[in-house]
Structure 1
Amino acid sequence: MNDVSTTATPARTPEAVTREIREFLAGRVKQDVPVDQDLFRTGLVSSMFAMELVVFLEQTYGIAIVGPDLKLDNFRTVEGMTSLVGRLLDE
């Protein structure tokens, strides 16, 4: 039973979440993204792209990002997004 289908529940370790977010970003911006790079300050992504990040995280991890969690600071870095996902999964 080695079902590694992409429809299976994704791994929940911080390392796996970080890897999945980096893979998503690399596919969209066509370059490797360091975990601590400020995506918005460097111009790598726009504030409009932040909504795509929200949808990606919600759909991938089965979480709802609402209210105060929607602040841009949670999406500035891969580290920030990993932390947000981990916190919401723990709730």
Structure 2
Amino acid sequence: MTANDTGTDRATAEAIAEFLEGRLGAAVPHDQDLFASGLVSSLFAMELVVHLEGVFGIAITGSDLKLDNFRTVESMTALVDRLRASDA
């Protein structure tokens, strides 16, 4: 996350981090690559898609369905914020 993040960005990031902590049983740094670290698999990525869509009221489709958007809490936060902004 950067110094330009808004409170909403932080709230989104915290909500995503809390979900991951609950599922993984450990806190995850917001910049940790979840796939490279072996914490999650591509199957879990689909669970992340469903979770993000349900919690944040977004639709993740097409080119947004790539692992890079789900590698870190930061990348998921950026995805959610971008999709929310495009819906506004």
TM-score (norm 1): 0.86
Q: Percent identity?
A: 64
CA distance in 2: counterparts of 1:62 and 1:26, whole angstroms = 21
SS of residue matched to 2:27: coil
Offset from partner CA, 1:8-67 (integer Å, 9 cap, x none)? xxxx80000000000000000000000000000000011100000000000001100000
Q: What letter corresponds to residue 12 of structure 2 in structure 1? A: V
Q: Which runs of 5 or more residues in structure 1 are unaligned?
A: 1-11
SS of residue matched to 1:40: coil
1:31 matched to which residue of 2? 26
Tell me how large the CA RMSD over aligned residues is.
0.9
**1:50 maps to which of 45, 51, 59:** 45
Number of residue equivalences: 80
> Are 1:70 and 2:65 counterparts?
yes
SS of residue matched to 2:34: coil
Task: Name which one, 1 or 2, has greater alpha-carbon Rg.
Answer: 1
CA distance in 2: counterparts of 1:38 and 1:15, whole angstroms = 18
> Are 1:85 and 2:83 counterparts?
no
Q: What letter corresponds to residue 49 of structure 2 in structure 1? A: V
1:83 CA drift (Å): 0.1
CA distance in 2: counterparts of 1:29 and 1:85, whole angstroms = 21
Offset from partner CA, 1:63-86 (integer Å, 9 cap, x none)? 000000000000000000000000
Q: Which runs of 5 or more residues in structure 2 are unaligned?
A: 1-6
